[in-house]
Amino acid sequence: MKAGIVGLPNVGKSTLFNCLSNAKAQSANFPFCTIEPNIGVVNVPDPRLQKLEELVNPERVMPATVEIVDIAGLVKGASKGEGLGNQFLANIRETDAILHVLRCFDNDNIVHVDGSVDPIRDKETIDMELQLKDLETAEKKLDKVKRAAKTGNKEAQKEEAILNKIKENLEAGVSVRALDFSEEDYEDYVKPSQFITDKPVMYVCNVDEGAATTGNAYVENVREAVKDENAEVLVLAVGTEADINELDDYEERQMFLADIGLDEPGSAKLIRSAYKLLNQQTYFTAGVKEVRAWTVTIGATAPQAAGVIHTDFEKGFIRAEVIAYDDYVQYGSEAKVKEAGKMRVEGKNYIVKDGDVMHFLFNV
């Protein structure tokens, strides 16, 4: 699962990537600095892991990770090949969620491809290009399905109706994610097309450091414009955080963060949000060798969770011993949790909960 950083050129996407990841992307004050996508595997900050570390005192600690991709900027006409054109659209299609970066800071020295700072216009530009690309996808599919629909094939007719609904909405500037479908229709006819505007999105408002905690008028405009989208709007002083991230010393970083009013980097919050946006959650394994956070899709069963560690664990799954994170912390050790009768034994239909501390029994 990966989240892609998307936006106009020169709005701070690569700078944001550098806040998140240690794989340094080139960032510079000119449009289309990024061409090939930068990929980073980013640790998901999770205070629960430190707590478990204190309790278990393991040899090592492994955090959960999420993959972030920094993608080339896109401009008006991109869907028709302008700028870097279609190439980047393929990069976006390969991601599972979109982090849409909007420039919300004034600075005459940083070029804006459309001449002025206006995050609402910028958002519309990006949305429109992605919608045009999806329109192309919908039309291609429609062409294919039309003939079969004419001959009376019921399924083809259903698909045609759904594709027409998508097409009409895209033409009216409505993204696929905003449309309602029955779960069955969605699974059968919408999801397989992998529409770009169907991917979950969150907005990252790039502000200057004075607005890191408060936001600014641009951010207010963004909030107002997306209020019906049910999408998170995150405020981040990307440039400043990238500078702070360059410092090697933890204390020093915390000091500079405190200066702009933060007790943790906005980028940490962003990673957690991206993780949620990807529909992921964490369960833990806690042993003396290793305390580790594992990533599972929300709704995953115990065997599927076991499969994240090893496919054999899933195939040979017998049962799982589960301790809720809060119980683990309250009683302080696995033994004490057991004594208190708070360790549960769960079977193959158990739906994993965020924060479960799990131990799997299996045979191979």
Q: Which residues bind ligand GTP (CB under 6 A)?
A: 7, 9-15, 27-29, 31-34, 72-73, 105, 107, 110, 206, 208, 237-239
Q: In what order do the strands lie in the sheet with 60-62?
A: 60-62, 290-297, 280-286, 357-362, 317-323, 344-346
- Stretches 26-34, 178-186, 332-340, 341-349: which one binds Mg ion (CB under 5 A)? 26-34
Nearer to Mg ion, 105 or 195 (CB): 105
Q: Binding residue per annotation — 197?
A: no
* Helix/strand/coil percentages in the chain, nearest 5: 45, 20, 35
Query: Which residues on adjacent β-strands are paired with residue 203?
Result: 100, 233
**Helices within the chain (DSSP H only):** 13-20, 47-56, 86-93, 119-150, 154-171, 183-185, 217-225, 238-245, 250-259, 266-277, 302-309, 311-315, 325-331, 334-339
Q: Binding residue per annotation — 12?
A: yes
Q: How far is the CB of 114 from Mg ion (least distance, A)?
A: 17
98, interface contact from ligand GTP, Mg ion, none, CB < 5-8 Å by kind: none
Q: How far is the CB of 9 from ligand GTP (least distance, A)?
A: 4
Q: Binding residue per annotation — 267?
A: no
Q: Binding residue per annotation — 322?
A: no
Nearer to Mg ion, 5 or 357 (CB): 5
Question: Roughly how many angstroms between the first and final C-alpha of the chain, as a whole number?
Answer: 28
Neighbours of 180 (CB within 10 A): 7
- Stretches 28-36, 190-198, 223-231, 269-277: which one binds Mg ion (CB under 5 A)? 28-36
Residue 5 and residue 97 in contact, taking contact as beta carbons nearer than 8 Å: no
Q: How far is the CB of 71 from ligand GTP (least distance, A)?
A: 8
Q: How far is the CB of 15 from ligand GTP (least distance, A)?
A: 3
Q: How many angstroms separate the CA atoms of 234 and 89, rounded?
A: 24
Q: Binding residue per annotation — 13?
A: yes
**Nearest Cα residue to 102 out of 5, 244, 214, 31:** 5
14 binds Mg ion, rule: CB under 5 A: yes
Q: Binding residue per annotation — 190?
A: no
Nearer to ligand GTP, 8 or 135 (CB): 8
Nearer to Mg ion, 13 or 141 (CB): 13
Phi, psi of 3 (to 5 degrees): -110, 135
Q: Is 87 exposed, middle or buried, given 0-12, 13-18 or 19+ CB atoms closer than 10 A?
A: middle
Q: How far is the CB of 177 from ligand GTP (least distance, A)?
A: 23
119, interface contact from Mg ion, ligand GTP, none, CB < 5-8 Å by kind: none
Over the window 55 to 84, marking each residue x when it contacts Mg ion by CB under 5 A and - when it does not, the resulting string is ------------------------------
Q: How many angstroms separate the CA atoms of 82 and 160, rounded?
A: 31
Q: Is 152 helix (H, G, I), strand (E, B) or coil?
A: coil
Q: How far is the CB of 325 from Mg ion (least distance, A)?
A: 38
350, interface contact from ligand GTP, Mg ion, none, CB < 5-8 Å by kind: none
Q: How far is the CB of 100 from Mg ion (least distance, A)?
A: 14
Cβ neighbors of 224 (< 8 A, separation 6 or more) are none
34 binds Mg ion, rule: CB under 5 A: yes
Q: Is 266 exposed, middle or buried, given 0-12, 13-18 or 19+ CB atoms closer than 10 A?
A: buried
265, interface contact from ligand GTP, Mg ion, none, CB < 5-8 Å by kind: none
Residue 95 and residue 4 in contact, taking contact as beta carbons nearer than 8 Å: yes
Q: Which residues bind Mg ion (CB under 5 A)?
A: 13-14, 33-34
In the annotated binding site for ATP, the residues are 10-15
In the annotated binding site, the residues are 10-15
